[in-house]
Structure 1
Amino acid sequence: MIKRIASTLLLLTIVITTFGQSTEIKKLLNKQDENLSHRLDRLEKMVDDLMWHERLGDIAHVDKVYMYGPPKWKEKNPTGLGAGNPVKFWSYLFFPKNIDTNKKYPLMVLPHGGVHADFTTYYTHIVRELVSQGYVVVAAEYRGSTGYGKGHYEKIDYGGLEVEDVFASKNYMLENYHFIDKNRVGIMGWSHGGLITLFNIFEHANDYAVAYAGVPVSDLVARMGYYEDDYRALYEVDYHIGQSAHKNVEEYRRRSPAWNTHKFKNTPLLIHTNTNDNDVHVLEVEHLIKSLKADNKQFEYEIYQEVPGGHSFDRMDTKIAKEIRVKIYKHMNQYLKPEKPINNLKDIQKAGYRF
């Protein structure tokens, strides 16, 4: 892998030196740059997979399994070989190291955030805190995730079938591990993971006992308005939505939780947002909250005022972030009943110890 990356870099240098910056050369360079980016993502993923064992091996069994979700929503060749086949993807599994398979355990479904992102050791402390309480955790690398090459990257269906990939990961766990309690399944996610969380309980209300959505992407129409051209361009490429919000506003509404709150039923839901969020502007989550209220839905929420950390305010290792996560865990735990629930700051600090 490293030799191939070095060769690619050498090729780029030779091309630039020899041919300059003609249009065709720019296309070649862009293609090489894209290929290099995917190779680097794969390499980073391999390293991070090893780090999971290093960082959680003292309290958890870590595994990674291959599963599938629905077929792609866009097929380049609908009649071609393999068209209509399920989309295959990997998921991370985390089990308490002292697990007793004669008992029943609650399951936490944990979708990662980000447009073209992945589940990384950024979430180490979150997973540690969950496993220490007695949760089994599943984290899907749903379609569009990075680290698995261009093919998986371009299967992205933002706010669409990626939601069903995460749901499929939940079903996989129930089908394959008899010690998971089907009546104690929760889902929690931040940012884009918060959007996936919301759509999971909108579409599959009876499958989740409780949910938490942190700083959730909530309104793609508004988001396209306050973000810059480069960000909007991510959604407008052919393999993605393929159109701007200006050209197809209904498609963006379809993929926005704030425009689909009528689907929400009765899953106990907690929503958090932060007024200084530098990624998901608070106006998106305010729209979500107002829409839920307008539809007479029952839920809990808190709008935090200028908490340091912005978009990551409750995922950090700071004292205030841990105090907020205690609130989150209390919300989840009253419905999922883990064996060793986190009830206070001391509990959450103890969960993070590695000695």
Structure 2
Amino acid sequence: MNKLLTLSLMLFLSAASAFSQKQSVESLLQTNDENLQHRLDRLEKMVDDLMWHERLGDVAYVDKVYMYGPPKWKEKNPTALGAGNPVKFWSYLFFPKNLDTNKKYPLMVLPHGGVHADFTTYYTHIVRELVNQGYVVVAAEYRGSTGYGKGHYEKIDYGGLEIEDVFASKNYMLDNYHFLDKNRVGIMGWSHGGLITLFNIFEHPTDYAVAYAGVPVSDLVARMGYYDDEYRALYEADYHIGQSAHNNVEEYRRRSPAWNTHKFKNTPLLIHTNTNDNDVHVLEVEHLIKSLKADNKQFDYEIYQAVPGGHSFDRMDTKTAKEIRVKIYKHMNRYLKPENPINNLQDIQKAGYKF
């Protein structure tokens, strides 16, 4: 009997050891895969940085500068060396090639979208259209952006201090370039960038003359309901929120524009959404619109009916997308007054091109 127990125990320990080794190998492979992905993101970022000059060099001066925002909201070790220091990040700057430093220019703040993403040449034609009109553009690679390694990636604070990073990029521009008009600053963004846009005007209502939010992420509570586990895991990671919406619904409400519309003052605001959006479901933006109305806020909006392109419907290079962007620019230009405003489709078709 004792021999049988001994043999059983040996078999159990052997199986447990094999299981533990398997887990260690799987963990090691996962870590290696994550590290490789960050390296690939860095490589992709370096290539894309070159592409900016290739694609915009004829109409714009392109620069990339290093700046900082608030300290991390969540320190793994609050007593460690460097804990509590400001978060450093890069921002892209675009200046019209014919810029005259004796004049004053409007500034456009352009936060990128994506949970973990970055500002890429995906926005080439939008930046060309802005620069051609006479805008200076700043696009922050706020905390959590990809292409800068695991450390920056894991500083993500979705709907949190990333908002202040973007605000810091605006302040940096006004502090460093005397030819910018502090009274003509606009902010525009799509998707996650739309959320950042909304929170910037909620938290800093006197700092922006006008705003546009396209297909903005508006309700993280609802979003956790209609997305899958892989997406939810991005928010539940230890370095991020660290809890599910089920376990801490208030934290997700705090990060959702639709639950914070009482903070909105009187910044001229235009909101667009699309009923066939395959990323930000129209129900999120409908909630935002209803909340703004319930709080008796003044704003403009349009719910587009199944325009081809879904989530990207007005950022594409199609005729329809350009026609919609004319509406966006007219809204922004009414308050920012660039030198060469886009007023129609013909203007937008030739913006920045040599014909």
TM-score interval, smaller chain = over 0.9
- Partner in structure 2 of residue 46 of structure 1: 46
- The structure-2 alpha-carbon separation of the partners of 1:352 and 1:318, relative to structure 1 and needing over 3 Å to count, comes to farther
Structure 2 CA distance for aligned equivalents of residues 293 and 273 of structure 1: 16
CA deviations 1:147-191 (Å, max 9, x no partner) are 000000000000000000000000000000000000000000000
2:221 is the alignment partner of 1:221: yes
Counterpart Cα distance in 1 of 2:344 and 2:331: 13
The CA RMSD over aligned residues, in Å, is: 0.7
Amino acid at match of 1:293: K
1:192 and 1:75 mapped to 2: Cα distance? 24
For 2:57, the aligned partner's letter is G
Contact 2:59–2:352 (8 Å) recurs in 1: no
Partner residue, 1:68: 68
Percent of aligned pairs with the same amino acid: 91
Corresponding position: 1:280 with 2:280: yes
For structure 2, the residue ranges without an aligned partner over 5 or more in a row are: 1-20
Q: Contact 1:144–1:153 (CA<8 Å) still a contact in 2?
A: yes
| TM-score normalised according to structure 2 size | 0.94
Alpha-carbon distance in 2 for matches of 1:294, 1:23: 52
Q: 3-state DSSP class of the match of 1:311?
A: helix
User: How far off is 1:23 after superposition?
Assistant: 1.6
Q: Structure 1, unaligned stretches of length 5 or more?
A: 1-20
Which one is further off, 286-295 or 22-31? 22-31
Using the TM superposition, give the Cα deviation of residue 353 of structure 1 relative to its aligned residue in structure 2, in angstroms: 2.3
State the Cα deviation string for residues 52-76 of structure 1 (Å, max 9, x = none): 0000000000000000000000001
Residue 191 of structure 2 corresponds to residue 161 of structure 1: no
Q: Any residues of structure 2 matched to 1:176-215 within 5 Å, and which?
A: 176-215=176-215
Deviation at 1:219, TM superposition (A): 0.1
SS in 1 for 2:271: strand
Per the alignment, residue 350 of structure 1 pairs with 350
The corresponding residue for 2:244 is: 244
Q: Which amino acid aligns with 1:342?
A: I
Q: Deviation of residue 24 (structure 1)? A: 1.2
Aligned to 1:3: none
Aligned to 1:268: 268
Q: Which residue in the other structure is 1:150 paired with?
A: 150
Query: 1:22 deviation in Å?
Result: 2.0
Over 2 Å off, 4+ runs: 352-355
Question: Is residue 324 of structure 1 aligned with residue 354 of structure 2?
Answer: no
Deviation for aligned residue 1:354? 4.4
Q: Is the 8 A contact 2:212 2:332 kept in 1?
A: yes
After superposition, give the CA deviation of every residue in 1:301-324 in whole Å (9 maximum; x if it has no partner).
Answer: 000000000000000000000000
DSSP-derived class of the 2:206 partner: helix
User: Is structure 2 residue 104 aligned with structure 1 residue 79?
Assistant: no
- Match of 2:340? 340
Q: State whether residues 58 and 354 of structure 1, in contact with CA within 8 Å, keep that contact through their aligned partners in structure 2.
A: no
CA shift, 1:80, in A, is: 1.1
Structure 2 equivalent of residue 133 of structure 1: 133
Kept in 1: contact 2:275–2:306 (CA 8 A): yes
The one-letter code sitting in structure 1 at the alignment partner of 2:316 is: M
Q: Which residue of 2 aligns with 1:105?
A: 105
Residue by residue over 1:132-151, the C-alpha shift from the partner in whole angstroms, topping out at 9 and shown as x without a partner, is 00000000000000000000
Q: How big is each residue's C-alpha offset from its partner over 1:280-314, in whole Å with a ceiling of 9 and x where there is no partner? A: 00000000000000000000000000000000000
**How far apart, in 1, do the equivalents of 2:81 and 2:186 lie?**
38
- Count of residues in Structure 1 that have an aligned counterpart in Structure 2: 335
> What code does the residue aligned with 1:278 have?
N
